[in-house]
Structure 1
């Protein structure tokens, strides 16, 4: 059962978090191009925002199956996992409270979008992505692991 839970957890990360990180990273440069005047880029912005929003909901599967896997492995109280859970919650907070509202603000008033807002959105996305990098490293290295890694 542990292998099944771990497989679903990893697949959920790849299929849910991956698209959000890519779409969110593409949003600021696409905004700059849209401000340069191409209608196609405006349509792409809407699609990128929709990807971020929909896959954010699918991303809820990641901590659910992560917790079930940790419970199955008996590592629910390990420090590396608690830190990973905190960083995952922080990443979810950045997405829900900064990235998605920032994207919505751009879509609501594209001509009024300032360079400061675009830079802020790019920075928030970078923080979101770095949080996931740290979580990924912790999941692979797992301090104190007996796997020999």
Structure 2
């Protein structure tokens, strides 16, 4: 059963978190292109935002199966798991509380151009934090410091 849960957890992470990381990273440069009136950029923004929202919802499966896996393996109280949980919650908070709302603001395009350009910079920074958090979680899942199976 552990192998099945772990497989579903890893597959969910690859299938759900990967597209969110890529789409969130692509959004700020596309928003800048749209502000510069580059052809096609405006039409790509809603697609990227929809990918982010959709895969964010699908991504809920990752911590659900992660918790089930950790529980079934008896490692739920391990420090690397607890740190991963905190970082995952932080990443979810950054995505839901910063990235997605800022994407929405940029999609609506309300405000002076200078404000929108600055907003793309802040969105890019938030996206970088989101992706960095997921990178750290991924490393923790592989290395598992302090675990009996860690490197």
TM-score by length of 2: 0.94
* Aligned: 1:101 with 2:81: no
- CA contact 1:35–1:110 (8 Å) conserved in 2: no
Deviating beyond 4 angstroms after TM superposition, the runs of 4 or more aligned structure 1 residues are none
Call closer, same or farther: CA 1:58–1:148 in 2, change over 3 Å. closer
- For the aligned residue pairs, the C-alpha RMSD in angstroms reads 1.3
- 3-state SS in 2 of match to 1:86: helix
Partner of 1:124: 126
Partner of 1:47: 47
Give the superposition deviation at 1:112.
3.8
- CA contact 1:35–1:111 (8 Å) conserved in 2: no
Number of equivalenced pairs = 149
Call closer, same or farther: CA 1:20–1:148 in 2, change over 3 Å. closer
The CA deviation string for residues 96-137 of structure 1, in whole angstroms up to 9 with x for no partner, is 000000000000116745221010000000000000011111
Call closer, same or farther: CA 1:110–1:30 in 2, change over 3 Å. farther
Q: Gaps (5+ residues) in structure 1?
A: none
